[in-house]
C-alpha cells in the first residue's frame, strides 16, 4: 500500500455530512447578520462540485436533540425559556432571548435543537467508527452559555457534542476554534475539565465581542492549561495568522493526544467580514482547514468533527470557505483557481440579487506559511501575542514556551 492509499492519508477519508433543509429555519430574520442563506449557498456550491455525490461522502439525516442532550450543557430553566419564547414570540431577557443579537423567532427551540442534533450525530458517527470525519456546516454556535443565549447562539451545539463524547467514554477531546470571535461558551463549559483542551485563535478581546479570550485564561483549578487563547491584533493577515496557528496548535495537540478533534470554522476572520477586523483571505482559511485535517490524522486517528460558525459576508466568503472545508474533509481539495460553476452563480443571483465570486480563490492561491521556528520578532505584535499564549500554557503541558525560537 502506498502512502497515498494509507488509512491515515488525508486523501482517503470517509465523510458524513449532516444536513437537512430544515436547518435553514435557524433564522433571526432578514435584517440579522446571521442569515441562513449562507449555509444554503454553501450546500448548493458543494453539490455543484459533486462533493456530496463522491463515493466516500454521504449526506446523513439525524434526530433533533432532546432535552436530555441539551441538558448536558444547558440548564433546564434555560431550555424551558427557549421553548416558551419560540412558542409565544415573547422575550426572555434574563436568558438573553429578545435582544438585538438574539431576537426571538417562532420555532426557536426546534430550530436550535436541530442544529445541536446534527453536531451530536456527527460526534456519534465519528466515535462509533462509522466514518473518519463528520461535518455540520450549520453548527459551531460557540457563544451560547449554560443559561443564556449570546452572540447569535441559542444552544451550544459544539459543547453538547463534546459533552456527549465524554459521556460515552472519550477521555481526551480537543477543540480548536478559528472563528474571529473567542469561543467563550465552549471554554466556559469545560473550563474546569482537564479532559477537554480548548484552543481559540481570535481577534483581541480589547477590540471585539465577547471581550474574553485573554492569554491568561488558562483553565480552572485542576485544569490549568486546558484553555488556550491566542488573541491577535486587528489587521492580522494570512501569513501572520498561520504563523500563530503553527506556533500554538500543533505542539499542544501532539502533547495532549486527543481521541477526537472537534473544530469550529467561523470564516469571519476574512478581510471582507463586516463584523470584525482581521484580514484573512479564503486562501488562508483553506490552508488552515488543510492543516487541521492533517493534524486530525496525526493526533486523533482521523476522528474529526468539523462545524461551521460565524461568517457574515454571505455570498463572497462563506460559501467558498466552507465548500473548501467540505472538500478538504472529503480528501478532495478544490484547486483554488477553479471557476465557480455557472449554475451556482445563477442561483446566487436568484436568491440574493448579488453577483457571485467567479473563482474559489481570492487571488493568493497557495499561501506561504512562515513557521514559528523561523525566528521570533519581539517587535511584531502577532509574535508578542503568540509568546504571551505560549508562556501562559506551555509549561502546564511540560513544554518550553521558548522552544523553536
pLDDT of residue 110: 98
What is the pLDDT of the chain when averaged over all its residues? 96
State residue 370's pLDDT score. 80
Catalytic-labelled residue, pool 142, 143, 293, 324? 143
Write the pLDDT tens digit of every residue in 41-71: 999 999 999 999 999 999 999 999 999 999 9
Q: What is the pLDDT of residue 2?
A: 30
Collapse the DSSP code of 279 into the 3-class scheme (helix H, G, I; strand E, B; otherwise coil) and give the result.
Answer: strand
What are the tens digits of pLDDT across the range 140-172?
A: 999 999 999 999 999 999 999 999 999 999 999
Q: Say which residue the cell 412558542 belongs to.
A: 87
Cis peptide before 131 (omega within 30 of 0): no
DSSP state of 148: B
3-state secondary structure 72-85: CCCCHHHHHHHHHH
Say how far residue 162 (Cα) sits from the centre of its chain: 13
What pLDDT, on the 0 to 100 scale, is given for residue 203?
98
Half-sphere exposure at residue 336, Cβ-oriented, CA atoms within 13 angstroms: 17
Q: What is the mean pLDDT of each run of 10 residues along the chain (405 residues)?
A: 38 89 98 98 98 98 98 98 98 98 98 99 98 98 98 99 98 99 98 98 98 98 98 97 97 98 98 98 97 98 98 98 98 97 98 98 83 91 98 98 83
For residue 173, what are the β-bridge partners? 196, 260
Strands 304-307 and 133-136: parallel
Residue 266 confidence (pLDDT): 98
- pLDDT at 13 (0 to 100): 82
Active site residue 143: yes
How far apart CA 51 and CA 282 sit, in angstroms, is: 18
Per-residue confidence (pLDDT) for residue 46, from 0 to 100: 98
For the chain, domains (ranges, CATH) are 8-64+113-397 (3.40.800.20)
Task: Classify residue 179 as exposed, middle or buried by CB count within 10 Å of its CB (0-12, 13-18, 19+).
Answer: buried
Amino acid at each position: 500500500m502506498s502512502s497515498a492509499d494509507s488509512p491515515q492519508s488525508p486523501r482517503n477519508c470517509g465523510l458524513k455530512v449532516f444536513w437537512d433543509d430544515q436547518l435553514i429555519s435557524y433564522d433571526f430574520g432578514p435584517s440579522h447578520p446571521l442569515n441562513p442563506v449562507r449555509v444554503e449557498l454553501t450546500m448548493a456550491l458543494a453539490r455543484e462540485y459533486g462533493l456530496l455525490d463522491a463515493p466516500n461522502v454521504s449526506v446523513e439525516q439525524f434526530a433533533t436533540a432532546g432535552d436530555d442532550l441539551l441538558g448536558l450543557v444547558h440548564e433546564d430553566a434555560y431550555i424551558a425559556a427557549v421553548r416558551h419564547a419560540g412558542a409565544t414570540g415573547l422575550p426572555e431577557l434574563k436568558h438573553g432571548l429578545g435582544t438585538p443579537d438574539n431576537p426571538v423567532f417562532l420555532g426557536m427551540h426546534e430550530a436550535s435543537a436541530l442544529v445541536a442534533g446534527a453536531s451530536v450525530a456527527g460526534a456519534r458517527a465519528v466515535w462509533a467508527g462509522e466514518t473518519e470525519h463528520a461535518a455540520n456546516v450549520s453548527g459551531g454556535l460557540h457563544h451560547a452559555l449554560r443559561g443564556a443565549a449570546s452572540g447569535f447562539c441559542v444552544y451550544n451545539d459544539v459543547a453538547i457534542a463534546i459533552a456527549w463524547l465524554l459521556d460515552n467514554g472519550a477521555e481526551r477531546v480537543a477543540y480548536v476554534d478559528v472563528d474571529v470571535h473567542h469561543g467563550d461558551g465552549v471554554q466556559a463549559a469545560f473550563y474546569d475539565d482537564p479532559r477537554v483542551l480548548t484552543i481559540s485563535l481570535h481577534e483581541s478581546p480589547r477590540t471585539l465581542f465577547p471581550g474574553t479570550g485573554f492569554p491568561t485564561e488558562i483553565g480552572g483549578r485542576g485544569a490549568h492549561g486546558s484553555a488556550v487563547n491566542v488573541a491577535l491584533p486587528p489587521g492580522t493577515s494570512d501569513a501572520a495568522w498561520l504563523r500563530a496557528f503553527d506556533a500554538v496548535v500543533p505542539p499542544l495537540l501532539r502533547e495532549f493526544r486527543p481521541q477526537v478533534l472537534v473544530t469550529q470554522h467561523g470564516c469571519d476572520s476574512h478581510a471582507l467580514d463586516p463584523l470584525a477586523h482581521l484580514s484573512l483571505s479564503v486562501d488562508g482559511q483553506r490552508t488552515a482547514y488543510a492543516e487541521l485535517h492533517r493534524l486530525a490524522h496525526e493526533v486523533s486517528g482521523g476522528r474529526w468533527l468539523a462545524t461551521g460558525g460565524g461568517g457574515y459576508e454571505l455570498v463572497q466568503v462563506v460559501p467558498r470557505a466552507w465548500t473548501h472545508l467540505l472538500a478538504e474533509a472529503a480528501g478532495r481539495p478544490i484547486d483554488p483557481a477553479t471557476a465557480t460553476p455557472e449554475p451556482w452563480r445563477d442561483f446566487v443571483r436568484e436568491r440574493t440579487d448579488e453577483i457571485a465570486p467567479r473563482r474559489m480563490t481570492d487571488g493568493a492561491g497557495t499561501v506561504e506559511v512562515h513557521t514559528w521556528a523561523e525566528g521570533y520578532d519581539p517587535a511584531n505584535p502577532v509574535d508578542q501575542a503568540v509568546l504571551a499564549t505560549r508562556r501562559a500554557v506551555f509549561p502546564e503541558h511540560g513544554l518550553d514556551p521558548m522552544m523553536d525560537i
